[in-house]
Amino acid sequence: MKEYEVVIIGGGPAGLTAGLYTSRARRTSLLIEKQLVGGLITSAGWVENFPGFPDGVAGLELGELLHKQATRYGLETIIAEVSSIELSGEQKVIATTEGEFAARTVIIASGSERSKLGIPGEEEFTGRGVSYCATCDAAFFAEQPVAVVGGGDAAVHEALDIVKYVSKAFIIHRRDKLRASRILQERAFAEPKIDIRWNTVVDEIEGTNTVKQLKLRDTVTSEKTTLEVSGVFIAVGFKPNTDFVKGLVSLDDTGQIVTNEHLETKIAGIFSAGDVRSGSGRQAITAAGEGATAAIYAERYLSG
């Protein structure tokens, strides 16, 4: 079993910044990412609010820059899924699809995943019209009408992104006003290709080989309608990635990891940072800041 001084779970801005700091502190550090280094920011398309990039930066590129920087100081990275963390005295043993690793300190920065609607047709048509990542899939729907389900920043952001490709983007929102930030709302209202359907939910996604139409319901009048679209982008929230720590650390009622102000969980030597942490700001820059903070306190734990 290979040993490190620090194991970091998750390769988004929080995990990569933690790795940058622990590597610069000359601690042997392994980062375990299950899919794509960069984390959720890689699906963000264009990022305008990460400080240091006045002209913005592609989410995918930002992820690569963070990874390159941490790697430069010695951070190792593997692609593997973590199944559990077990305590063995002061050591933490991390079981993954690529074997077991041990470390005195663990920084959990496993982020969150997009929530699903849980309606008929959603699973059936995933990858055949149903998508959770506009940046990845918008180009498949050139000059066709699509729907974006949700009313938060992510949903409006996705709608604004995909109008570059599609003929029309309907935002399907269950409430009568958006939760998105003002600047995004203003842009959405000013975009002629965006049509917002208020007080509306999707009951079913229908199609043959691919998506053909949505069954909609008005939440006020209960009126049922159909909407012909070729694609549906679902942006209705996030689910923290904490399956591998259930019963080990404390979770809040949304399933996020509870820490103290030093970002330490109730287990000495296990820290948490970024979207998976209770109270985190759900921004790349706040995640990066938390990654640095977790690394600083992990260093104190190791040298204490």
For residues 23 and 70, what is the distance between their CA atoms, to the nearest angstrom? 7
What are the tokens at 16?
A: 């990569």
Task: Verify whether residue 133 is a known catalytic residue.
Answer: yes
Q: Taking CB under 8 A as the rule, does residue 46 contact a second copy?
A: no
From residue 262, alpha-carbon distances to 54, 287, 296, 298 in Å are 31, 14, 9, 9
What are the tokens at 39?
A: 């984390």
Question: Minimum distance from CB of 282 to a second copy (Å)?
Answer: 9
For residues 108 and 32, what is the distance between their CA atoms, to the nearest angstrom? 10
Q: Count of alpha carbons within 13 Å of 224, Cβ hemisphere only?
A: 5
Q: Taking CB under 8 A as the rule, does residue 181 contact a second copy?
A: yes
Task: Verify whether residue 137 is a known catalytic residue.
Answer: yes
User: What are the respective helix, strand and coil percentages of the chain, to the nearest 5?
Assistant: 25, 35, 40
Q: Count of alpha carbons within 13 Å of 231, Cβ hemisphere only?
A: 28
- Residue numbers 238-277 binding a second copy by CB under 8 A: 261
Q: Taking CB under 8 A as the rule, does residue 65 contact a second copy?
A: yes
For residues 114 and 146, what is the distance between their CA atoms, to the nearest angstrom? 19
* Complex with a second copy: residue 30 or 70, whichever CB lies closer: 70
Which region, judged by CB under 8 A, interacts with a second copy, from 69-77, 81-89, 200-208, 249-257? 69-77
Length of the chain: 304
Q: Please pick, from the candidates 6, 7, 20, 236, the single residue that binds a second copy as defined by CB under 8 A.
A: 20
Q: Taking CB under 8 A as the rule, does residue 296 contact a second copy?
A: yes
Q: Please pick, from the candidates 84, 115, 199, 286, the single residue that binds a second copy as defined by CB under 8 A.
A: 286
Q: Please pick, from the candidates 183, 246, 266, 300, the single residue that binds a second copy as defined by CB under 8 A.
A: 183
Question: Minimum distance from CB of 119 to a second copy (Å)?
Answer: 31
Judge whether 184 and 157 are in contact, CB under 8 Å.
yes
For residues 18 and 254, what is the distance between their CA atoms, to the nearest angstrom? 24
6 phi/psi in degrees, rounded to 5: -135, 130
Q: Taking CB under 8 A as the rule, does residue 28 contact a second copy?
A: no
Which region, judged by CB under 8 A, interacts with a second copy, from 1-9, 67-75, 99-107, 164-172? 67-75
b/e for 271-299, b at 16 or more Cβ within 10 A? bbbbbbbbebeebbebbbbbbbbbbbbbb
Q: Please pick, from the candidates 51, 89, 247, 304, the single residue that binds a second copy as defined by CB under 8 A.
A: 51
Question: Minimum distance from CB of 43 to a second copy (Å)?
Answer: 18
* Complex with a second copy: residue 95 or 285, whichever CB lies closer: 285
What are the tokens at 8?
A: 């970091």
Q: Taking CB under 8 A as the rule, does residue 300 contact a second copy?
A: no
Q: Taking CB under 8 A as the rule, does residue 119 contact a second copy?
A: no
Within 10 angstroms of residue 17's Cβ, the number of other Cβ atoms is 28
Q: Which of 55, 133, 153, 243 is catalytic?
A: 133
List contacts with a second copy (CB under 8 A): 13, 16-17, 20-21, 24-26, 48-54, 57, 62, 65-66, 68-70, 72-73, 181-183, 186, 261, 279, 281, 283, 285-293, 296, 299
Which residues belong to the active site?
133, 136-137
